[in-house]
Amino acid sequence: MATRLLFRDDAYLSRASARVIAVHERGIELDQTIFYPQGGGQLGDSGRMLRESGEPIAISDTRKGDAPDGVLHVGAADAPVPEVGESVTLELDWQRRYALMRLHTALHVMSCVVVAPVTGGNIAPDKARLDFDIDIHLLDAARIERDTNALIARSVPTETVWITDAELDARPELIKTMSVQPPRGAGRVRLLRIPDIDLQPCGGTHVRNIGEIGAIRVLRIRSEGKRNKRVEIALAN
Ligand SMILES: [Zn+2]
Query: Tens digit of pLDDT for each residue in 75-126?
Result: 999 999 999 999 999 999 999 999 999 999 999 999 999 999 999 999 999 9
pTM of the model: 0.94
**Ligand 1 mean position to 123 CA, how many Å?**
10
**Ligand 1 mean position to 206 CA, how many Å?**
6
**Ligand 1 mean position to 108 CA, how many Å?**
6
Distances (CA, A) of 223 to 9, 85, 104: 37, 50, 21
CA distance 41 to 70: 18
Q: Which residues fall inside 5 Å of ion ligand 1, going by CB?
A: 192, 202, 204
**Ligand 1 mean position to 160 CA, how many Å?**
10
Q: What pLDDT digit, counting tens, does each position of 215-231 carry?
A: 999 999 999 999 999 99
**Ligand 1 mean position to 203 CA, how many Å?**
6
Q: What pLDDT digit, counting tens, does each position of 127-177 carry?
A: 999 999 999 999 999 999 999 999 999 999 999 999 898 888 888 888 777
DSSP 134-168: S-GGG--HHHHHHHHHHHHTT-PBPEEEEEEHHHH
Distances (CA, A) of 206 to 155, 156, 157, 194, 227: 14, 13, 10, 10, 27
Element (H, E) at 6: helix 6-9
